[in-house]
A and B are shown apart, each in its own frame.
Chain A
Amino acid sequence: MSTAAHPVDTHKPPEVNLTKFGMTTFLASEAMLFAGLISAYLILWISQGKNYEPEWLKADKFTWPVLVTGINTCFLLASSGTLYMGEQAVLKGKSITAWLGLTTILGAVFVTVQYFEWRHLYSEHIWFHTGGTYTSSFFTLTGFHGLHVSIGVVFLAITTLMAAAGKFTPHRHDFLTCVSLYWHFVDIVWIGLFTVMYLLPYFIH
């Protein structure tokens, strides 16, 4: 390989957003984490069959699992929408504090509702180890996802404060890009989880 003395940066590839690329790769890794958990859950479901009937489906057939969580899912989806609006606004140089604030609130609502769902199940004596394998997987998976959402809400709050302080410009908003990638990812994972953990068992039983 030969090199020539050359002034710096003449043939460099176009300046790219390293942070965004890094975040995407990290999320690929996160996706494998959830893929591992979800496939473990599905394998158990297939091998166990009957044992997988969710306890809470028996106890409380419609209200919590489908109605409340269904509405809750809408909050999360809406939060992705508002965040997207925020991203568009920042490119145009408009103020995005309101959009980010709204996203944070929607995320917080999601976590709160999920907290009440867990509390409700706990009051029905359904907890990590009290039911069958389904219940264990349910708490492990939604808990793991809930942890991700909570972290996301904290970061969204920080982003909102940064936006209020005017830290983002149309050309410099790496932090916002990363947080929003993460948030959209958490949202997509939830759609998958809601399908396999709530809707599928509900429609099958």
Chain B
Amino acid sequence: MQAQATVRLPDGAHPTNYLNKETTIRSWLLTTDHKRIALLYLFTIIFFFIIAAVAAALMRAELLTPKGDLVLSETYNKLFTIHGVLMVWFFLVPSIPTVLGNFLIPMMIGARDLAFPKLNLLSWYILATAGAIVLYSVTAGGVDVGWTFYTPLSTKFSNEHVMVMAFGIFLSGFSSILTGLNFIISIHRMRAPGLTWMRLPLFVWSLYATSLIMVLATPVLATAMLLIVVERLWGVGIFDPSLGGDPVLFQHLFWFYSHPAVYIMILPGFGVVSEIITCFSRKRIFGYRFIAFASMAIAILGFMVWGHHMFVSSQSLYTGMVFSFLSFLIAIPSGIKVFNWTMTLYKGSISFETPMLYVLGFIGLFTVGGLTGLFVAALATDVHLTDTYFVVAHFHYIMVGGMVLAFMGGLHFWWPKMTGRLYPEPMGQLSALTTFIGFNLTFFPQFILGYLGMPRRYHAYPPEFQVWNVLSTAGATILAAGYLMPMIYLPWSLWWGKRAGNNPWSATGLEWQTPSPPPEHNFDQTPLVTEEPYGYPLAATTHNRHTEGRQREMEHA
């Protein structure tokens, strides 16, 4: 309540917090405060997101007509390469971990900062430099090999900017590794007294699993990218068959990272959902341990399924079967999570604020994305569906429907904590709804296009596919509106939004016990944790005769 009392005071009288303690540009660029670094990341990834989204918009515009008439085919290839590279490595992979994770992990575990604050700042500089290098390669001439960099297309049959871009991605990997390392060590060693593993918020669990993948899988991507550079520089025969190399080896190395990377992108989303769904149904999470261990199971199994990207790549019959089998297994922990979230709603007291709407959208779209994953995990249907729009739709349901919605939900949920201001609630609800509708209209037609046989990465296509493409492009405009709204009202709220107070959602969790925005040192006193997370006092927050009556009876008895 103290924070609200300060509303009427002039700026200088605010209690100092991490935002207004120092305001020079220098203090931002040299900060080691995890909260400030989180904001640096936020601006950086939104910048990359906008570029990648513009590339996507141009592609959808091109696909309105069957003929390739808006951009050249080479330009089109460059567009989807930029879109893929920026979205994957410079938006999705860093999004929740580096923004929400950086901001929240120290607060959720009751620490002053991460274990290595300087390393944290270094990670941001590495990511920003890597992004600059990638953008340089785009402006210098562009790369048209797709975000997968398949050899020998990327080594012998493309321009030398591939090397620059590969180096940029190689570098961005170190940012991932260092961030993951920082999180793992902080979660292991910096927890507040009483905060045992089984009392950790599920967001922390999911980021712990994510960090493990970041630390262990990213170096293999670095290997693959490095070998591309080596092969191009010295003409050595690693992937080039005419020099005795093996082009499929690259795919193994690439997917050994890039499949676990899918879980780098989605696991943090699971964490956000668990936090938000408990808060807005005022209930303890159902099956805490199962959700936590499902995250770990996904992280481990995720390392063993890379070959399912290569069922038609001439790998052997039995290899295909093993990878298909393991891929089906990974459906189980994902299913467990969805079921547990649904059960969490049971006997809750559910309200529909913006973060909750985003999260409900997440559960719906992630479930569709996961179930369509079965279509491409089943060997025979994958032969027909791989490299078609079905795959595009499937992974966008996971990446956009899952990760982006979770990120937006999380951003809205913790926005009051980060800025001290509330976003305008009706606008937020409208944006969640618009995004959901626009997303489905954009990507559902692509499932149909895929089964009809339209291959990915086609700049021009047979006319019979047009109707679905027009629908998809129409949906993309709605989706764009859904994205644009928060980009306008969130900054607006910084100046004109209502003061948030310390805990606008009456949420549990250590981060809500600090002022909004938090002071630089987070906690005045190290908190002591005495019970499990999500202890929402259901009876106190709802006007419920039954519950209160029963509880009284129980107390008497």
A and B touch in the complex (CB under 8 A): yes
A interface, CB within 8 angstroms of B: 1-13, 16, 18, 21-22, 25-26, 28-30, 32-33, 35-37, 40, 43-44, 47-48, 51, 128-129, 132-133, 136-137, 139-140
Asked if residues B219 and A32 are in contact (CB atoms below 8 Å), the reply is yes
Q: Which of A8, A16, A33 is within 8 Å of B525, CB to CB? A: A8
Contacts of B215 in A (CB 8 A): 25, 28-29, 32
Contacts of A11 in B (CB 8 A): 193-194, 528
Contacts of B238 in A (CB 8 A): 40, 44, 133, 136-137, 140
Q: Which residue of A lies closest to B252 (CB)?
A: A43
Asked if residues B223 and A40 are in contact (CB atoms below 8 Å), the reply is yes
Q: Interface size bucket, B side?
A: 35 or more
Asked if residues B236 and A40 are in contact (CB atoms below 8 Å), the reply is no
Asked if residues B530 and A18 are in contact (CB atoms below 8 Å), the reply is no
Asked if residues A136 and B236 are in contact (CB atoms below 8 Å), the reply is yes
Q: Which residue of B lies closest to A51 (CB)?
A: B244
Minimum CB–CB distance from A126 to chain B (whole Å) comes to 12
Asked if residues A3 and B527 are in contact (CB atoms below 8 Å), the reply is yes
Contacts of B525 in A (CB 8 A): 5-8
Contacts of B236 in A (CB 8 A): 128-129, 133, 136, 139-140
Asked if B472 is at the interface (CB within 8 A of a chain A CB), the reply is no
Asked if residues B508 and A25 are in contact (CB atoms below 8 Å), the reply is no
Q: Which residue of A lies closest to B230 (CB)?
A: A140
Asked if residues B249 and A40 are in contact (CB atoms below 8 Å), the reply is yes
Asked if B237 is at the interface (CB within 8 A of a chain A CB), the reply is yes
Q: Which of A3, A7, A33, A43 has the most CB of B within 10 A?
A: A3
Q: A11-B194, A44-B249 are in contact. Are A136 and B237 (CB under 8 A)?
A: yes
Asked if residues B193 and A18 are in contact (CB atoms below 8 Å), the reply is no
Asked if residues A6 and B528 are in contact (CB atoms below 8 Å), the reply is yes
How long is the Cα–Cα vector from A70 to B193 in the complex, in angstroms? 52
Q: A29-B216, A47-B246 are in contact. Are A37 and B223 (CB under 8 A)?
A: yes
How long is the Cα–Cα vector from A40 to B237 in the complex, in angstroms? 12
Asked if residues A44 and B245 are in contact (CB atoms below 8 Å), the reply is yes
Contacts of B535 in A (CB 8 A): 1-2
Contact with A along B207-249 (1 / 0, CB 8 A): 0000000011111101110010010001111100001111001
How long is the Cα–Cα vector from A5 to B192 in the complex, in angstroms? 13
Asked if B64 is at the interface (CB within 8 A of a chain A CB), the reply is no
Contacts of A133 in B (CB 8 A): 236-238, 243-245
Contacts of A28 in B (CB 8 A): 215-216
Contact with A along B147-191 (1 / 0, CB 8 A): 000000000000000000000000000000100011011001101
List residues 506-530 of chain B with CB under 8 A from any CB of chain A: 508-510, 513, 525-530
Asked if residues A18 and B219 are in contact (CB atoms below 8 Å), the reply is no
Contacts of B230 in A (CB 8 A): 128, 136, 140
Q: Which of B224, B244, B513 has the most CB of A within 10 A?
A: B244
Q: Which of A1, A29, A30, A132 is within 8 Å of B199, CB to CB? A: A1
Asked if residues A29 and B234 are in contact (CB atoms below 8 Å), the reply is no
Asked if B531 is at the interface (CB within 8 A of a chain A CB), the reply is yes
Asked if residues A33 and B194 are in contact (CB atoms below 8 Å), the reply is no
Contacts of B531 in A (CB 8 A): 1-2
Asked if residues A4 and B528 are in contact (CB atoms below 8 Å), the reply is yes
How long is the Cα–Cα vector from A137 to B217 in the complex, in angstroms? 21
Known: A3-B528, A36-B256. 14 other contacts (CB 8 A): A1-B509, A3-B530, A4-B530, A9-B526, A12-B193, A32-B217, A35-B220, A40-B253, A44-B238, A44-B245, A48-B246, A128-B234, A129-B235, A136-B234
A/B interface sample: 10 pairs, CB < 8 A: A1-B535, A4-B527, A6-B526, A21-B189, A22-B115, A25-B181, A35-B220, A40-B227, A40-B252, A137-B238
Q: A1-B199, A1-B533, A2-B535 are in contact. Are A132 and B244 (CB under 8 A)?
A: yes
Minimum CB–CB distance from A159 to chain B (whole Å) comes to 20
Asked if residues B508 and A1 are in contact (CB atoms below 8 Å), the reply is yes
Q: Which residue of B lies closest to A12 (CB)?
A: B193
Minimum CB–CB distance from A157 to chain B (whole Å) comes to 23
Contacts of B110 in A (CB 8 A): 3
Minimum CB–CB distance from B117 to chain A (whole Å) comes to 11
Asked if residues B217 and A8 are in contact (CB atoms below 8 Å), the reply is no
Q: Which of A16, A32, A48, A129 has the most CB of B within 10 A?
A: A32
Q: Which residue of B lies closest to A140 (CB)?
A: B230
Asked if residues A18 and B220 are in contact (CB atoms below 8 Å), the reply is no
How long is the Cα–Cα vector from A40 to B533 in the complex, in angstroms? 44
Contacts of A140 in B (CB 8 A): 227, 230, 236, 238
How long is the Cα–Cα vector from A47 to B510 in the complex, in angstroms? 55
Asked if B116 is at the interface (CB within 8 A of a chain A CB), the reply is yes
Q: Which of A3, A16, A47 is within 8 Å of B529, CB to CB? A: A3
Minimum CB–CB distance from A7 to chain B (whole Å) comes to 7
Contacts of B220 in A (CB 8 A): 32-33, 35-36
Asked if residues B219 and A36 are in contact (CB atoms below 8 Å), the reply is yes
Contacts of A44 in B (CB 8 A): 238, 245-246, 249
Asked if residues A6 and B529 are in contact (CB atoms below 8 Å), the reply is no
Asked if residues B510 and A3 are in contact (CB atoms below 8 Å), the reply is yes
Q: Which residue of B lies closest to A31 (CB)?
A: B219
Q: Which of B189, B194, B510, B528 is within 8 Å of A18, CB to CB? A: B189
How long is the Cα–Cα vector from A142 to B497 in the complex, in angstroms? 59
How long is the Cα–Cα vector from A25 to B513 in the complex, in angstroms? 32
How long is the Cα–Cα vector from A1 to B192 in the complex, in angstroms? 12
How long is the Cα–Cα vector from A11 to B525 in the complex, in angstroms? 13
Contacts of B227 in A (CB 8 A): 40, 140
Asked if residues B189 and A16 are in contact (CB atoms below 8 Å), the reply is yes
Asked if residues A25 and B185 are in contact (CB atoms below 8 Å), the reply is yes
Asked if residues B223 and A33 are in contact (CB atoms below 8 Å), the reply is yes
How long is the Cα–Cα vector from A43 to B236 in the complex, in angstroms? 16
How long is the Cα–Cα vector from A136 to B530 in the complex, in angstroms? 58
